[in-house]
A and B are shown apart, each in its own frame.
Chain A
Amino acid sequence: MTFPRMLPPMEGVADPRTLIPARTSSRRAQAALEQGIKAFFGGNALVAVIVLALITIFLFREGFGFFGQNLANLRLYRQAGLEYVDIIRGVSAKHEALSRSLSEIRLREVRTMEKRNAPVEEINAALAPFDQFATAFSDTAENLHGIVSDLTDQASALKEALFARAELLAQRNQLEHSAAQAAAAKIIVPEVDRTAALASLREGSANFESVSAEMTAQLYSLLAQAPPLPDPAAQKAFEQWKTRTREYLAGLPAASEKLRTWSPDAPIPWYRSISSFLFGREWVTASFWQDWYGIIPLLVGSILVSIVALIIAVPLGVASAVYVSEIASSHEKRLIKPYIEFISAIPSVVLGFFGIAVVGQAVRTASQSSFFKWVSFFPISERLNIFTAGCLLALMAVPTIFTLSEDALRNVPRGFKEASYALGANRLQTIGRVLVPASLSGIVSAVLLGLGRVIGETMVVLLCAGNRIAIPDFTQGLGSIFQPVHTMTGIIAQEMGEVVRGSTHYRALFMVGLVLFTITLGINYLAQKFVTRYRMSIG
C-alpha cells in the first residue's frame, strides 16, 4: 500500500524520510482500522432505517390481526342474533330519546318561569298536565323494554356459548396441528343448538308486532290530547317533538319488516371488518353485549382538538415570528427567542396537570360569568373539553411554529428586503408584500410540523380533553368545541395498559397507532415538500 519512493534523496533537499518515515506495515493495519471505523459508523446509521422498519413491522404485526378478529367478532354478532335484538333495541332507544327530549322541554319551560320569579309550587302546578303526558308517554314503551331485556339475555347466552365453543375448537385445532391427538381428543367441544336458540329468539320477538301496534295506537291518542305549554319557545319545541314522534311511529313498520327479513346466516363480507373500523362511529370496548371498534369518534376528537390548537397557535406563532425577526430590537430578540424556545421544553404532562388544575376551571368559571351571558352555549358543563385541551396544545405548538417561521423569515435574502426599501416601501409593506410571501412555504411547513406535534401529543389530551368517547354534537355549532372528546393518542395511553395481549381490543389499539403513524408521516412528508419549495423560492 505504500507509495513507493523511487529515487534517492537529492542534494540540497531535505529528505522527507528524515522526519516522517514512509508508511510501513503498521500503517496497513491502520488502513484496516479506518475501514473498520467506517463500517462501525455506517452500521449505526443503518439503525435509523432498521428502527423505522421495525416500528412499521411491529405496528402491522400486532395490528393486522385485528381485521380477522374483528370480522369474527362481527360474524358472531350476527350469528348469535345480537344484531336481531339490536333492531328492536333501536326502536326502544329511540323511544327513550324522545322521552328525554320531553324532559329537556320541561327544563326549558321551568327556566323561563324561574326568570319571571315564579315560585316552585306555581311552576309545578302549571306543568302538571305536561308531566302527566310525559309519564304516559314513557309508560307506553313498557312492553317494548320487556321484550328487549328478555331477548338480550337470550342472545347473550347464545353468544357466550358460541364464543366458548369457538375457543375450544381453536384449542383443539392447535393441539391437532402439534400432533397431540390424544390431548386434542380430550377436549370436548359442546354442540350449541343455534337453531333452537335463534328460534326462541324469534318467538320472543313475535309479539313485537303486536306490541308496536298497541304502542302506536296509544301514542296517537296521547298526541291528540297533548297539553299546551305557556312559553311560546317551549311550545315550538314541543311541536317539533310531536312531528318527530309521528315520524318515529311511521318508521315502526320498517323495523318489523327488517326483523322479518333478517337472517342469522347472511354472510358478512370481509371488507366490513375494515370499513367498520375506518368508518365506525362507535368505540365500545369491554362491553357485555357487543364491542365496536370504530375509529371515527377518536379521529374526530383528535382533529377537533388540533384545529382548535392551530386556530390559536398559528396567529400567535406567526405574529411573534414576524415581530421578532423584523420589528423587535436586538435586546428584545435576545430575550424573546430563547424564552419561546424554553416554552417548548415544558413537559407535556406538566401542561396537562396545569390544564386540570387551572385552565379547565378557569374556562368554566369564565363561561359562567355574566360577561358571556350572550353566548348561547354558555355556561358549559364540562371543565375538561376540546377547548381546554386545544388551548394547552396551542402553547405546545407555538414554539415549533415560531422557531421555524422565524428561521424562514430570517433566511429570506437580504436583497429582497433592500430592493423593497429602495422602492420606497415602508417596513409594513416590505413585510406584507415581500418577506411573508417569500417565506410563505416555509411558514406553511412550520404550521404543518406544529400540527404534527399537536396531533401526536398524548398527555395533554389524555388529561384535559375530557375522555368521553363520542362524536361531539355538531348541532350546537361553536358550542361543540366545549364538549369532551377522546383522541387517538389518548385512547392508546388509557387502554393499552389494561387490555389482554392478543385480544381484538389490543390489536385495535395497534391499528389506531398505525393510523396515527400514517397521519403523522403524511404531515411530515407535506412539510418537507413545502420546505423544498421554500428553498426554491428564496433561491
Chain B
Amino acid sequence: MVSVAEMPEITSPIIVNQPEPIPKSEIERGMIEIEQLDFKYGAHQVLHDVTLSIPARAVTAFIGPSGCGKTTLLRCLNRMNDLIDSAHITRGSIRIEGIDINAPGVDVVDLRRRVGMVFQKSNPFPKSIFDNVAYGLRIAGVTKRTLIDEAVEKSLRSSALWEEVKDRLHVSGYGLSGGQQQRLCIARALAVEPEIVLMDEPCSALDPIATAKVEELIRQLKEQYTIVIVTHNMQQAGRCSDHTAFFYLGRLIEFDGTAKIFSNPAQRQTEEYITGRFG
C-alpha cells in the first residue's frame, strides 16, 4: 500500500522529458530472451528446446497450427501458467531485461504488472468502463482520484476507445460491442503501464472491422511497447508484425523478419504452412 505522499507528482501524463543517453548495453528495455525452454503439462511435453530473442519495441507474431505451443509460450512470459496445475518449465530460462523471471526471488505480481496481457476471449470485468481501466491502478495502491482519471483517459485514448466511450464511462463494460470490449481490455492492460504486452489471438472473436481497428492499434502501440501476439491468422501476422516465429509441434521452426518469413522462408515446413498446405 502506497500513500499518496510517496507518489511522485507528474505534470505530463505521457512524456517525461529527461533526455538521457541510452546505454549501449546488450540489455534493452522490454526485450525478452528465451533459452532452451522445455515445458510440460504433466507428462506431456508441449515445448521443446525453444530459444528465441524477442526484440524490444516491435511486434513479434507467434504463428503455427493449433496445439503447437505458441499460446503456452506466451503464457510463460508472464508466468500465467503458474495458475495451471501440473504445468511447469522443465529446462531452460526466460529472461526479461536480463532477469530470469522464474528465479525464486522474483515477485510474480510485479512481473505481471510489467508484462500485460490481452486474452483471446475479451474478459472485461463486470464493472463500469472506468472501473475496468482503473482496476489495475487501484490494485497497485494508487488512490489519488486525479491520477486515476488521467491514466484512464490516457489508456482509453491509446487504445482508440476514448472517443467512443467518453460519454458513458460509468456504464458496464458488458454493454460494449465485441471489438470495443477487446479494446477495453487492451486499455486496461495499458493503464498499469507495462513494458511488454502479450496478446493471445486478440482478434479471433472479432469481425473484420473490429479486427482492423485492433490491428491499427497494435501498430501504434509498438512505438512504446514490446508486443508479442499469437495469431492463427496469417494475414494478420503479415499486416502488423515486424518479426514472426513459426512453431510446429512444440518446436520453434523459424524466426525471422516477417517479410522474410512470408516471402522467402528458410524451412520447408514454414513454407508449407504459410502457403496453406497444412495447418
Contacts and interface: CB of A to CB of B under 8 A. Distances in A.
Interface of A: 1-4, 6-24, 26-27, 30-31
Given A6-B97, A14-B193, 16 more contacts: A1-B106, A2-B107, A3-B106, A3-B111, A3-B114, A7-B25, A8-B20, A11-B20, A14-B14, A16-B113, A16-B195, A18-B193, A19-B137, A20-B192, A20-B193, A26-B2
B142 A19 contact: yes
Contact of B13 (A4, A12, A14, A23): A14
Contacts of A30: 1
A14 B8 contact: no
Leading 3 A-B pairs by shortest Cβ distance? A3-B110, A16-B193, A20-B140
A19 B147 contact: yes
A51 B261 CA distance: 62
Nearest to B225: A13
B96 to A, nearest CB: 9
Given A6-B98, A16-B114, A27 B147 contact: no
Nearest to B147: A19
Nearest to B141: A20
A217 to B, nearest CB: 87
Contacts of A10: 22, 29
Interface string B95-127: 001110100011101110110000000000000
A348 to B, nearest CB: 40
B16 A31 contact: no
Interface of A is mostly: loop
Contacts of B101: 3
Contact of A3 (B99, B194, B224): B99
Given A7-B23, A23-B110, A13 B1 contact: no
A11 B19 contact: yes
11 contacts: A3-B111, A6-B27, A10-B29, A11-B20, A11-B22, A15-B16, A17-B8, A20-B142, A23-B109, A23-B110, A24-B2
Contacts of B209: none
B193 A23 contact: no
Contacts of B6: 21
Interface residues of B, number: 43
A139 to B, nearest CB: 84
Given A1-B107, A20-B137, A20-B140, A26 B1 contact: yes
A19 B146 CA distance: 11
A20 B113 contact: yes
B151 interface: yes
Nearest to B22: A10
Contacts of B105: 1
A14 B110 contact: no
Contacts of A13: 29, 224
Query: Which of A4, A20, A26: most chain B Cβ within 10 A?
Result: A20
B107 A21 contact: no
A23 B192 CA distance: 14
A13 B137 CA distance: 18
Contacts of B223: 12
A347 B18 CA distance: 74
B7 interface: yes
A31 B105 CA distance: 12
B55 to A, nearest CB: 15
B10 interface: yes
A9 B193 contact: no
B15 interface: yes
Interface of B is mostly: loop
A26 B141 CA distance: 12
B110 A22 contact: yes
Interface string B139-150: 011100001000
B15 A12 contact: yes
A14 B114 contact: no
Given A3-B114, A6-B97, A17-B8, A12 B23 contact: no
A4 B223 CA distance: 23
Contacts of A3: 99, 101, 106-107, 110-111, 114
B10 A18 contact: yes
Nearest to B111: A3
B1 to A, nearest CB: 6
Nearest to A30: B1
Nearest to A4: B99
A260 B15 CA distance: 114
Nearest to A31: B107
A14 B16 contact: yes
B224 to A, nearest CB: 5
Contacts of B195: 16
A29 to B, nearest CB: 9
A347 to B, nearest CB: 37
Given A3-B111, A18-B8, A20-B113, A9 B18 contact: yes
Nearest to B106: A3
B147 to A, nearest CB: 7
Interface in B137-182: 137, 140-142, 147, 151
Query: Which of A11, A13, A24, A27: most chain B Cβ within 10 A?
Result: A13
Nearest to B25: A7
B19 to A, nearest CB: 6
B131 to A, nearest CB: 17
Contacts of B106: 1, 3
Contacts of B110: 2-3, 22-23
Nearest to A17: B8
Nearest to B194: A16
Contacts of A6: 27, 29, 97-99
B252 to A, nearest CB: 26
A1 B28 CA distance: 22
Nearest to B8: A18
A6 B14 CA distance: 21
A495 B23 CA distance: 87
Given A12-B224, A15-B16, A18-B10, A7 B27 contact: yes
A16 B142 CA distance: 12
Nearest to B9: A18
B213 to A, nearest CB: 23
A30 B107 CA distance: 12
A27 B2 CA distance: 9
A27 B107 contact: yes
Contacts of A12: 15, 223-224
B188 to A, nearest CB: 14
B45 to A, nearest CB: 28
A13 to B, nearest CB: 5
Contacts of B10: 18-19
Contacts of B109: 23, 31
B29 to A, nearest CB: 5
Nearest to A11: B19
Query: Which of B6, B110, B147: most chain A Cβ within 10 A?
Result: B110
